[in-house]
Amino acid sequence: MAITEAVENYLETILILSQKQPDVHAIDICSYLGYSRPTVSIILKKMKDEGLVTVDGDNHIRLTDVGKEVAERIYDRHKVLTDFFTYLGVSRDVAAEDACKVEHDISDETFELLRKYYEKIAEEAK
């Protein structure tokens, strides 16, 4: 399975949920993303087969090291882009929605330069 935008969204969701609660279950992902249980189950099985998540006997979903690395990269992009767009004057809700779209497509090179620029102007604004 390629790491598609959809897979990145699932991994990011599992990361976010795991930071808020001790155990993540498929129903939590369904609620967070607004997807049906069968849809989430299909993707989770594929992600498990690809070594991105594990599911224990109590159906607790956990990120593998590889899954966590992808999730953290995407979530970091999301946070930085949201903050940058907000700095530009975009409302927080719209900034978060736009960041979710951009985080998957922006190149590493462009993102790192944007991050450096944002950190510089944010520091100067203090």
Looking at the fold, whether 50 and 83 belong to one and the same domain comes out as no
Q: What total of structural domains would you count in the chain?
A: 2
User: 74 with 121, same domain?
Assistant: yes
Q: Which domain holds residue 53?
A: 5-63
Q: What is the pLDDT of residues 76-117, one digit of tens each?
A: 999 999 999 999 999 999 999 999 999 999 999 999 999 999
pLDDT at 1 (0 to 100): 56
Decide if pLDDT at 9 tops 90.
yes
HSE, side-chain direction, 13 A CA sphere, residue 118: 17
Q: Model's pTM, two decimal places?
A: 0.90
End residue of a domain, out of 63, 85, 110 = 63
CATH code of residue 58: 1.10.10.10
**Residue 19 backbone phi and psi in degrees, to 5:** -80, -20
CA distance 57 to 101: 34
Q: Which CATH number do you get for residue 85? A: 1.10.60.10
Which residues have CB under 8 Å from 12's CB, separation 6+?
71, 74, 75, 78
Q: At what angle do helices 37-49 and 5-20 cross, to 10 degrees?
A: 100
Of 86, 88, 76, the closest CA to residue 115 belongs to 76
Q: Which of 44, 63, 82 is the last residue of a domain?
A: 63
On whether both 78 and 38 belong to a single domain, the answer is no
